[in-house]
Amino acid sequence: MKILHLDSNHPLLITQLNDLGFQNDEEYTASKTEIEHIIANYDGIVIRSRFDIDASFLDKATNLKFIARVGAGLESIDVAYAKTKGVKLFSAPEGNRNAVGEHTLGMILSLFNKFPVADQEIRQGQWNREKNRGIELDGKTVGIIGYGNMGRAFARKLRGFDVEVICYDIKDDVEDSNATQVELEELFTKTDVLSLHTPWTPQTDKMITSEFISKFKKPFWLINTARGKSVVTKDLVAALKSGKILGAGLDVLEYEKLSFETLFAESKEMPTALNELLQLKNVILSPHIAGWTVESKEKLSQTIVNKIKASFC
């Protein structure tokens, strides 16, 4: 079987697939149109998020048996159409779920203890102890929306804290020893910290709006390490300014490109809401790296190797 690699990944991925007898070709710079001219020669594709794999692309991939995405989700692939073609789909949420759980917890603790602000003030010669008095996570209720690989990994990280962990998911019976599944009404009533761990779907697109935020019974903290387009930035900014949302940790932003590689590359005027967000002191930002650790790079690739091997060897 011939596999075309469209993004660079940990070297073990190609090394191990070579050892299993697969032919591996690498093409990291050709355009999608150029790839479409050669894709019929391949049985498999390994990709991260370089471009959409849509119906038109799949129609040209006449010999394709699988698509492996070295990442957690499959939103860049026309999943339904691929399945009609008999194409197997592999993703690797097992590979970076621990990294996401740790990053999420780190964002909460940084917000609660005002690490970014305190750090910058000291660098500017300011020693403001009372202003930077923190709060403790113990005693809080943490609400998780989306209790799959990422949500579960985050809940496990909370076991060392005296917190109540509740979760909401569209699937039934997902709770475990680390979180109690509840309906949205209970989530709205009890949550002190809300963490999103959902894929990007029609149901989660623009999920966090002013209307959604208004349903929470008390001010809360928001963490998003899932997908940027699930949160409407202008509504988030309004809630942060009003105090309805006490602070936010955002690893993802509404304005990201599909590849997740750039945000500021295009020379367009910055959206007003994003500019306002960047000025707020109670917001922590990172460039879509929650699952982007040294360890997860290896684990993601190993997960993909294991899934290809299980299906084709």
- Give the residue numbers marked as catalytic: 227, 256, 288
Rounded to 5 degrees, φ, ψ at 300 are -60, -45
Reported in sequence order, the residue ranges of the chain that DSSP labels E, i.e. its strands, are 2-5, 23-26, 44-47, 66-69, 88-90, 141-145, 164-168, 180-181, 193-196, 220-224, 245-250, 283-285
6 contact partners, CB below 8 Å, separation of at least 6: 27, 28, 35, 45, 46, 47, 48, 50, 51
HSE-up of 105 (CA within 13 Å, CB side)? 21
267 residue type, one letter: S
